Amino acid sequence: MDLVTLEEYSYTVTFIAYGIASLIYIVYLGYKNENMVRIATLATIVGLITNLAFLVLRWMISGRAPFANGYEFLMSFTAGIAGAYLVAEWKYRYKIIGAFVMPIAWLILAWIAMKMPDYSRSATNLMPALQSNWLSIHVATAMVSYGAFALSLGTSIMYLIKQSMENSGSRSGFSKRMPSLDALDDISYKFIAVAFPFLSAVIITGAIWAEYAWGRYWSWDPKETWSLITWLVYAAYLHARFTYGWRGSKAAWMSIVGFIFVLFTFFGVNYFLSGLHSYGGS
C-alpha cells in the first residue's frame, strides 16, 4: 500500500472517529452512561492519532511540512481541536464538554469532503512564497491557538445554556450534570489565556514570513487585517477580565465573538476576499 493511499485512509478514519465521538458525546447530554462515553473518548484518541498520522504521511509524501494549503491547515486545525479537548477532559474530567467541542472538528472534516475537490487536496510543489520554515512555525502556532479557542467556544456556549436554564428555574438532569458556571467560566478563560500567546506568535511569525516572501512585514492584506482584529478581540477579553473583572455571560459572549472572527479569518478571507493569502483556501 503506497503512502498516498495510507493518507486517504487516515483522513477517512479520522472523519469516522470524530463523527462517532461527536455522536456519542451528544447522546451523553441526555443519557448518562459512563461506559458509552468512554467509547467517545477512545474514538477521539483514535481520531487524533490518525489525524496526526495524516500530517506525518503528507510530510513524507511532499517532502515538506504539511502546512502549505487550506486542506493541510484544516487537518491541522482539527488535530488542534481534538488535542485541546483531550487535555481539558484529562485535566477537568468533564466529558460532557465533548458534545460542544468535537462536532466542530467533525464539521471541518465534513467541509473538506464537500468543498475541497481531489485536485486541491493533493500534495503539490510549493510556490516560492511558501518555501520558508517560518510558514511551518506560523501554521503550527495557529493549530495550537485555534484548537484552544475552539475549546473556549464550547465551554462559553455551555455557560450561556446553563445560565439560561438556571435563570428559568430548570432542574433537569442535563443542567445538573453540566459543570458549574464558575467552572465553565474558568475553563474558557484558561484556554484563552493559553491560546493568546500562540495567536500573538501566529501574527509575529506571519509578519516575518511576509518580509521573506514579499519584502514587507505588513501590507494590510485581508488575512493580516482579520488576524489582527481577532487578536484585538481576545486582547480585549483578557484586558476586560483583568481590569474590569468581566466574567460570566459578558466573557462568554466575547469568547464566542472571538471564535467567529477566527473562522472568518480562515473561511471568509480565503473564500470571499482576495489577497496575498488567497491560495490558502486551496
What pTM, to 2 d.p., does this model score?
Answer: 0.89
Contact 210, 267 (CB under 8 A): no
The cell numbers describing 238, all together, are 483578557
Kindly give the residue spans of alpha helices, DSSP state H, lying in the chain.
3-30, 34-62, 70-92, 98-115, 118-121, 133-167, 173-177, 181-214, 222-244, 248-263, 269-272
Per-residue pLDDT of the chain (282 residues; tens, 9 = 90+): 688 889 889 999 999 999 999 999 999 988 888 888 999 999 999 999 999 999 999 888 877 777 777 788 899 999 999 999 999 999 999 999 999 999 999 999 999 988 876 645 666 665 555 666 777 788 889 899 999 999 999 999 999 999 998 888 777 777 778 899 999 999 999 999 999 999 999 899 888 877 776 677 777 777 788 889 999 999 999 999 988 888 889 999 999 999 999 998 877 666 655 544 544 444
Dihedral pair phi/psi, residue 60, rounded to 5°: -65, -40
Q: Map out the domains of the chain as residue ranges.
A: 1-126, 130-282
Rounded CA gap, 169 and 172, in Å? 9
Whose CA is closest to 139, among 195, 48, 69, 62? 69
Find all residues with CB under 8 Å of 76, minimum gap 6, and list them. 55, 66, 67, 139, 140, 142, 143
